[in-house]
Amino acid sequence: MGVLLTHNAYGKSRVRLTKVERTAERHDLFEWSVDVQLEGDFEPAYTEGNNLNVIATDTMRNTVYAHAADGPLGSPEAFGLLLTKHFMTYPQVTQASYWGRIVVGDAAHAHAFAGNGSEQRTCAVRANEQGNTVISGLDNLMVMKTSGSAWKDFHRDAYRTLPDAEDRILATSLTATWSYSSPVDWNVAHVEVRTAMLKAFAGHRSLGAQHTLYAMGEAALAAVPALAEITIAMPNRHRIPMNLEPLGRANTNSVFVATDEPHGLIKGTLRRDM
Amino acid sequence: MGVLLTHNAYGKSRVRLTKVERTAERHDLFEWSVDVQLEGDFEPAYTEGNNLNVIATDTMRNTVYAHAADGPLGSPEAFGLLLTKHFMTYPQVTQASYWGRIVVGDAAHAHAFAGNGSEQRTCAVRANEQGNTVISGLDNLMVMKTSGSAWKDFHRDAYRTLPDAEDRILATSLTATWSYSSPVDWNVAHVEVRTAMLKAFAGHRSLGAQHTLYAMGEAALAAVPALAEITIAMPNRHRIPMNLEPLGRANTNSVFVATDEPHGLIKGTLRRDM
Amino acid sequence: MGVLLTHNAYGKSRVRLTKVERTAERHDLFEWSVDVQLEGDFEPAYTEGNNLNVIATDTMRNTVYAHAADGPLGSPEAFGLLLTKHFMTYPQVTQASYWGRIVVGDAAHAHAFAGNGSEQRTCAVRANEQGNTVISGLDNLMVMKTSGSAWKDFHRDAYRTLPDAEDRILATSLTATWSYSSPVDWNVAHVEVRTAMLKAFAGHRSLGAQHTLYAMGEAALAAVPALAEITIAMPNRHRIPMNLEPLGRANTNSVFVATDEPHGLIKGTLRRDM
Amino acid sequence: MGVLLTHNAYGKSRVRLTKVERTAERHDLFEWSVDVQLEGDFEPAYTEGNNLNVIATDTMRNTVYAHAADGPLGSPEAFGLLLTKHFMTYPQVTQASYWGRIVVGDAAHAHAFAGNGSEQRTCAVRANEQGNTVISGLDNLMVMKTSGSAWKDFHRDAYRTLPDAEDRILATSLTATWSYSSPVDWNVAHVEVRTAMLKAFAGHRSLGAQHTLYAMGEAALAAVPALAEITIAMPNRHRIPMNLEPLGRANTNSVFVATDEPHGLIKGTLRRDM
């Protein structure tokens, strides 16, 4: 039996690009997810395992980050035109396709950002013979800051490989719950707690996620007198600086690989000291 | 061997409540997901299958909708206090717990609402020897309207059971892609297309999802002269009026069951007639 | 400006069909998710809001369940051919498309079924100055039974609308965790606990989910002497009998609507009585 | 106002460990997701940003991979006891917690593995005036092989950083669709196509994902004479060798980091040559 390969294509999907473009006044933050796909003279890889023409999908990934480093991103459309033009320079490529998707992009502050909107307000009430307990909260409030965040001078031992960082991206998807010492206007209190936490996040000079968590909890307790206790959990959604040296470029703290896993998870509970 | 039941609890989870509270000036839309859990004298159900004390989880669900019909929701905390107080009136209940979660809640218009924020901007670029193709778009833009939407006079046959509706909730999670006849400022054009579609959705007097889709596509083509073609897909995220009659209440078109599946799926492609 | 509607299609997605086909020796259980899409003479619905030709997507849903009731399902391909043939009998339809997806389908017992495989084995270990604690478990073990399960004689009040059921489908996605009184061969013990619970689920004559939970916990404790305590959580994934009367058919306890939300949630902890 | 930090904890979540333990007769494949959490003397990090005691979550991750390299994994319970014992050796740690989750673990072949069970059988049928089209398929069939897979001699340019690999893990989550030249017993044909693809995947000496895709398609066409055409899409779920050198260990091609994104995506369509 003969077999024909009637169509083939390959590429790299879900290349998660984070870029910070800095000016004196403000930082622009781009979080995109990019897919690339090529068609062309690749049949021998399928039929014979001959890969000489095959541009590895890892090479495609490198190309995305390298071009992101070379100039302003502009728009997903402009960046897509740039990338597909690059891939068409390979003689074995007859068609290059690009898909871009903006994950985060709205600025809420000169260098702090509130994210992609799957935040939900939560609430738990329990009643028994001792009375009622009300716990209010929020889930999944994505926040990032591109300035004023360090992570250094932490424990050093044989398992540590991470270097100190003076200026890193801090990104987290916040979960918080809090209780009250007395009934309040629940809707108003929710807005006040949320606002206090966001303001503390943006304005705080962070020496670590733990440090920022504490500042946010402290701000919430200060903002709403009826707040008795607050618990915050902050997954540390790492944005890892891309190593551009093997690609002949310097990374001026601007091009990052966004990752979901593994992630740090920092928790803390604060209450008013009587 | 003897066995002890050391702890037990049961309840209903993910009760999806949609409520519209209407005043002359505006509609307030609430979309909540509610969980209820009871503890108390329920051991015989576990050990002997004796259910006489067991309030069915379906009954709990009915209770959520009935109480939602009885007055303004206020806040998840207030509604949780109301519900747990109700469940504590059963002698067999020693503890009642409630969790509420706000899924949609921000008003964008007197009776139209833009939703929970997982919207993403998308883009596809393809290059080959014929040149470049740019497709822009957006995914998962949740919109709802609580007025100006009917669904009636559709095909009648032996398989139809759905009655005509003069005034229903129209809820959808919009996906759209569009192409251009000439290059534009991609970022500006994106905002213009999105705004035109949202405005048409809110202002349009809908006779069906198909009718609204067409109005949105027409508005996008009118707003951006460089737009060549637009394709819209609208899953019809049904909000089904809750039948409150068996619970001794009238439903004044205000209490709905939100569902994700099954859902209608309406698609259409529009282009400029030359 | 003129506008052309160059393509349109609409349909119903994620119609979740559960069917039991019973013979003397065994039950066959089918859990499918079905999408239907139609093309044809539907432009007036888009351009004018004229719905006279439009077969409601709710009608499509009814049609899926009605045809499922009319004969053996056979295979998704055979059922798809039957359904599309039906929709082609409407003069306004020029193309009918069907997508089927088998969610559950493998038999593990004459009338009990173990499900779709996203089960994971879990484990938690905690060490502190008091020593070590080991908790083993499993998540998301989907099981169903189509015989030997009743739900009746539960609490009756003004909020109850659910009738008694002598013979219903019991479907759950099991989570369990257990602790040990002494170290064991962890891998062997895991298999023994899982097997004991599955056997109890299948063989037990259930008077309610609570009743079954207890039987499973009791069986696990009996099977593994080193087991100290077991906690089981069972979401009750309701399979609701489809009302076929308005469609002129009897439902012989064979056609069901599968739902994920809302769901009951039953929990219990059992330990050995010393 | 004074504030008290009443509880704190931190750790690393979703550390995705892949390990191959090889003997002459067979390979054992472990795919686990691990979380670690520590409690202890960490308050200064929260209150002052003093991180001297803080073991970075990145260090915790390194520790997981290092211990995985040091000996057989055994069971998640045994590995959890080992890890928590290690973390308790730090004087600032008062409690160490571990959660493990087995994602893949069942052997289907001496060095090929079929995965975690979210596979679904699919089917599409289209009817119009030209007749019927039936497309059968499967989604999300996870397969891995730990032997007989190379990736080398691919295109070399300024953007390539990936080295050649003689012996790598090949992991994919297969999607396939196929059409028939004539009606068949759909259920039987489905099993035959699936079996032929799995057997080709396991037995084939792979020179790349493209090469394996072709072998699988060829095997399916050979196994079922009524098959007209088959399209396969294979996301390349990379298992990246962990660099253990900074941790003072050699990686004997046994410890890998499992990743979901980015991933390669390889597609191909094969049909019978007439």
On whether the CB atoms of residues D201 and A36 are closer than 8 A, the answer is no
Contacts of B102 in chain A (CB under 8 A): 120-122
Q: Is the pLDDT of residue B117 over 60?
A: yes
How many Å is the Cα radius of gyration of chain D? 24
**C7/B54 Cβ within 8 A:** no
Q: Is the pLDDT of residue A98 over 90?
A: yes
pLDDT tens-digit readout, C149-202: 999 999 999 999 999 999 999 999 999 999 999 999 999 999 999 999 999 999
Contacts of A80 in chain B (CB under 8 A): 123-125, 134
Task: Give the number of other CB atoms < 10 A from CB of residue B188.
Answer: 11
Rounded to whole angstroms, how far apart are CA atoms B209 and B172? 9
Q: Which of A99-113, B101-115, C70-84, D219-233 has the lowest mean pLDDT?
A: B101-115
**D272/A59 Cβ within 8 A:** no
* Cα distances (angstroms) measured from residue B238 to each of A116, A132, B16: 25, 35, 12
**A53/D1 Cβ within 8 A:** no
CA distance B185 to chain C (A): 22
Contacts of D218 in chain A (CB under 8 A): 3
Tell me the one-letter amino acid at B23: T
Question: SS3 of B203, please?
Answer: helix
Q: Which is more confident, B203 or C103?
A: B203
Check if B238 is active-site. yes
**C touches which chains (3+ CB pairs under 8 A)?**
B, D
Instruction: Mark out the alpha helices in chain C (DSSP H runs).
Output: 43-47, 57-70, 76-87, 186-203, 209-223
Confidence of residue C110 (pLDDT cuts 50, 70, 90): low
Tell me the one-letter amino acid at A183: P
Most B CBs within 10 A among A125, A129, A134, hence the mutation to make, goes to A125
On whether the CB atoms of residues A161 and D58 are closer than 8 A, the answer is yes
Q: B15 to chain C: nearest residue by CA?
A: C262
CA distance C183 to chain B (A): 21
Half-sphere exposure of A68 (CA within 13 A, CB side): 32
**B100/A120 Cβ within 8 A:** no
Least Cα distance to C145 among C204, C86, C65 occurs for C204
Q: Name the residue among A161, A218, A268 with its Cβ closest to that of D246.
A: A161
Q: A122 to chain B: nearest residue by CA?
A: B101
* Cα distances (angstroms) measured from residue A200 to each of A209, A216, B104, B147, D1: 13, 5, 26, 40, 16
On whether the CB atoms of residues D42 and D53 are closer than 8 A, the answer is yes
Rounded to whole angstroms, how far apart are CA atoms C175 and B18? 30
The residues, ordered by sequence, that sit 6+ positions from A207 with a Cβ below 8 Å of its Cβ are A150, A151, A152, D49, D50, D51
For residue B159, give both structure tokens: 């398989």
Identify the residue whose tokens are 């049609």: C63
Least Cα distance to A108 among A189, A171, A198 occurs for A198
Catalytic residue among B67, B109, B111, B238: B238
Contacts of B136 in chain A (CB under 8 A): 77
How buried is residue B89: exposed, middle or buried, by Cβ count under 10 Å (0-12/13-18/19+)?
Answer: exposed
Confidence of residue C270 (pLDDT cuts 50, 70, 90): very high
Rounded to whole angstroms, how far apart are CA atoms A205 and A211? 9
Check if C263 is active-site. no
Least Cα distance to A170 among A203, A137, A121 occurs for A203
Rounded to whole angstroms, how far apart are CA atoms C62 and C77? 19
pLDDT tens-digit readout, D4-36: 999 999 999 999 999 999 888 888 888 899 999
Contacts of B46 in chain C (CB under 8 A): 210-211, 213-214, 268
On whether the CB atoms of residues B268 and B232 are closer than 8 A, the answer is yes
- Count chain A–chain B contacts defined by CB atoms under 8 A: 144
Q: Name the residue among B3, B209, B210 with its Cβ closest to that of C270.
A: B3
Q: Is the pLDDT of residue D107 over 50?
A: no
Identify the residue whose tokens are 């989910």: C209
Touch criterion met for C and A (3+ Cβ pairs within 8 Å): no
* Size (chain C), residues: 274
**B101/A122 Cβ within 8 A:** yes
Which contiguous run of DSSP H or E holds residue C95?
strand C93-104
Tell me the one-letter amino acid at A97: S
Question: SS3 of D32, please?
Answer: strand
Confidence of residue A114 (pLDDT cuts 50, 70, 90): low
- Would you state the pLDDT for residue A103? 74
Q: Is the pLDDT of residue B134 over 90?
A: yes
Considering chain C, what is the average pLDDT of its residues?
91
* ipTM rounded to 2 decimals: 0.89
* Cα distances (angstroms) measured from residue C52 to each of B199, B264, C42, D159: 27, 17, 9, 59
How many Å is the Cα radius of gyration of chain A? 24
Contacts of A132 in chain B (CB under 8 A): 81, 84
- Would you state the pLDDT for residue C8? 95
Catalytic residue among B12, B27, B67, B111: B12
Half-sphere exposure of A88 (CA within 13 A, CB side): 18
- The phi and psi torsions of A46 (rounded to 5 degrees) equal -75, -50
Q: What is the arithmetic mean of pLDDT over D56-74? A: 94
Which contiguous run of DSSP H or E holds residue A28?
strand A27-40
CA distance C246 to chain D (A): 28
Contacts of B92 in chain A (CB under 8 A): none
Chain B positions with Cβ closer than 8 Å to A: 74-78, 80-81, 83-85, 87-88, 94-103, 105, 116-129, 132, 134, 136, 139, 186-187, 190
Q: What is the arithmetic mean of pLDDT over D127-143? A: 92
Considering chain A, what is the average pLDDT of its residues?
91
- Would you state the pLDDT for residue B110? 57
Considering chain D, what is the average pLDDT of its residues?
91
* Cα distances (angstroms) measured from residue D59 to each of A79, A210, D65: 36, 16, 10
How many Å is the Cα radius of gyration of chain B? 24
Look at phi and psi of residue D140 and say left if phi exceeds 0, alpha if psi is from -120 to 50, else beta.
left
CA distance C55 to chain B (A): 5
Q: How far is CA C221 from the centre of its chain?
A: 27
Q: What is the arithmetic mean of pLDDT over C53-77? A: 94
Question: SS3 of A7, please?
Answer: strand
